[in-house]
């Protein structure tokens, strides 16, 4: 458990760039370097995370920890990957605008955004080679990317995933025969806990401000499809007039700038909403917003392989895997590329990053330090 925690803790400090980049970091570490699993298994986990509400990249990390060490391994992976971001967000809440508004901070963040371009592009290319080997899967990939680029919204994303799953179930079924799979049964305990909390928390929320806070963030975590950016409007509705617009947007900007999951935006908001006990508020909000997605993941993860072996489900997954590559391509352009590459020198640094990563095989920590220094240096040009 300690080795799992250590791996994810180190990744948590250097995983900049949002959910799409995290998928790239995880693939580079656990598929290419450590070989915990192959691209096929990893693609199934990523596809599953796209269908469930909650923080997609954190669910992938949670599933990787579960595969390696069961539930304790999953918890170690979650704690390790999330803790750095939580620490930084609490620190930023303490310092507020003194840090986030500084030009040095903005320059370093710009350098890290350029690194995210390298990581997401590498992940998209690697997954394209593995999941888009047929004309139909290439078409599903390209169609998904076009749909998300033309009409970027969570409704488009869910609609496309459902459509490609239906196409895959019909046209991408495996041609080889395999033993008849057993019937799929979810793990009922986490599913029941998810439902009980969802239904009962609103009724007991008035008993305590902390329970009320937990309920608000649990409901938000239960409704988020599509990752960290989608949680913004939900949390904005939760906060209402209890937090100034400036403070809210400062927290959101900080969540995009720090490494690790964007859902730790809840850490900042929880800190601000509980001035009498800010640390408790931050931790309660963080746990509550992550918990629903993890409970749903646990409900299906144990028997996910059995479900994935069913011919129609396997075909649907092939379609979804191709679509996930399209999602990554769309994310590579917007927001990753557009928010990072603002001048020719930025693109030149991206090309240098590709050379350092793919040819010199520079470890990720050195890539992070290199791009932080490059971003800081760009501020003087």
Q: At what angle do helices 56-95 and 278-301 cross, to 10 degrees?
A: 180
Would you call 371 exposed, middle or buried from its count of C-beta atoms within 10 A (0-12, 13-18, 19+)? Answer: buried
Q: Residue 268 and residue 279: Cα distance in Å, rounded?
A: 10
Residue 186 — pLDDT band, cuts 50, 70, 90? confident
**Distance (Å, rounded) from C-alpha 77 to C-alpha 63?**
9
Average pLDDT of the residues in 322-336: 84
3-state secondary structure of 360: coil
Q: What is the DSSP string of 151-211?
A: S-SHHHHHHHHHHHHHHHHHH---SS--PPPPPP---HHHHHHHHHHHHHHHHHGGG-HHH
Confidence band of 270 (pLDDT split at 50, 70, 90)? very high
Q: Kindly report the average pLDDT of the chain as a whole number.
A: 85
- Cβ contacts of 246 within 8 Å, gap of 6 or more: none
Token match 């995933």: residue?
A: 161
Longest dimension (CA), the chain: 64
In whole angstroms, give the CA distance from residue 75 to residue 56.
16
- Tokens 């991408």 appear where? 172
Query: Which region among 26-30, 248-252, 326-330 has the lowest average model confidence (pLDDT)?
Result: 248-252
Sign of CA dihedral 165, 293, 6, 20: positive
* Preceding omega of 221 cis (within 30 degrees of 0): no
| Average pLDDT over every residue of 200-229 | 83
Evaluate the CA torsion angle 151, 155, 160, 163 in order and state its sign. Answer: negative
pLDDT above 90 (res 229): no
Bond from prior residue into 335 cis (ω within 30 degrees of 0):
yes
Domain count, the chain: 1
Report the alpha-carbon distance of residue 169 to residue 278 in Å, rounded: 49
The pLDDT of residue 232 is 62
User: What angle do the packed helices 135-150 and 103-131 form, to 10 degrees?
Assistant: 150
Please determine, for residue 99, whether its predicted confidence score (pLDDT) is greater than 60: yes
- The predicted pLDDT at position 330 comes to 87
3-state SS of the chain: helix, strand, coil percent to 5?
A: 80, 0, 20
| Burial zone of 180 (CB within 10 Å; 0-12 exposed, 13-18 middle, 19+ buried) | exposed
| Cα–Cα dist 23/256, whole Å | 16
Distance CA 336, CA 121 (A): 10
227: pLDDT strictly greater than 70 = no
d(CA 56, CA 158) in angstroms, rounded, equals 13
pLDDT in tens, 274-322: 988 999 999 999 999 999 999 999 998 877 777 777 888 888 888 888 8
| CA distances to 180, 231, 270 from 62, in Å | 29, 19, 23
Q: Which domain holds residue 344?
A: 1-381
CA angle 25-322-303, nearest 5°? 75
Please say if the pLDDT value at position 230 is more than 70.
no
Most confident of 154-163, 169-178, 231-240: 154-163
Token pair 């069961």 is found at 70
């Amino acid at each position: 458990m300690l080795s799992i925690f250590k791996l994810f803790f180190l990744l948590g400090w250097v995983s900049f760039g949002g959910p799409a980049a995290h998928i790239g970091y995880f693939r580079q570490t656990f598929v290419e370097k450590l070989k915990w699993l192959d691209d096929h298994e990893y693609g199934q986990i990523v596809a599953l995370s796209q269908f469930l509400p909650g923080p997609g990249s954190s669910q992938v990390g949670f599933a990787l920890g579960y595969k390696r060490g069961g539930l304790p391994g999953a918890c170690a992976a979650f704690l390790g990957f999330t803790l750095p971001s939580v620490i930084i967000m609490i620190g930023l809440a303490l310092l507020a605008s003194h840090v986030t508004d500084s030009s040095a901070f903005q320059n370093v963040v710009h350098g890290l955004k350029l690194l995210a371009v390298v990581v997401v592009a590498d992940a998209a290319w690697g997954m394209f080679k593995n999941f888009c080997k047929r004309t139909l899967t290439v078409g599903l990939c390209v169609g998904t990317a076009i749909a998300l680029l033309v009409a970027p919204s969570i409704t488009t994303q869910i609609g496309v995933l459902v459509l490609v799953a239906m196409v895959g179930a019909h046209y991408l079924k495996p041609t080889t025969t395999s033993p008849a799979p057993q019937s799929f049964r979810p793990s009922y305990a986490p599913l029941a806990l998810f439902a009980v909390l969802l239904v009962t928390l609103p009724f007991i929320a008035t008993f305590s401000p902390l329970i009320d806070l937990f309920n608000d963030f649990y409901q938000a975590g239960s409704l988020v499809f599509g990752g960290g950016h989608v949680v913004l409007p939900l949390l904005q509705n939760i906060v209402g007039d209890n937090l100034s617009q400036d403070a809210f947007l400062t927290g959101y900007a900080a969540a995009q700038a720090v490494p690790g999951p964007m859902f730790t935006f809840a850490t900042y908001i929880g800190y601000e909403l509980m001035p009498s006990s800010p640390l408790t508020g931050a931790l309660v909000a963080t746990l509550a917003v992550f918990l629903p997605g993890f409970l749903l993941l646990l409900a299906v993860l144990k028997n996910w392989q059995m479900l994935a072996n069913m011919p129609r489900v396997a075909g649907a997954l092939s379609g979804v895997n191709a679509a996930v590559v399209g999602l990554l391509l769309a994310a590579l352009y917007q927001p990753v590329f557009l928010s990072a590459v603002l001048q020719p020198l930025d693109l030149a640094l991206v090309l240098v990053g590709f050379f350092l990563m793919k040819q010199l095989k520079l470890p990720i920590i050195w890539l992070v330090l290199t791009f932080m220094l490059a971003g800081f240096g760009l501020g003087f040009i």
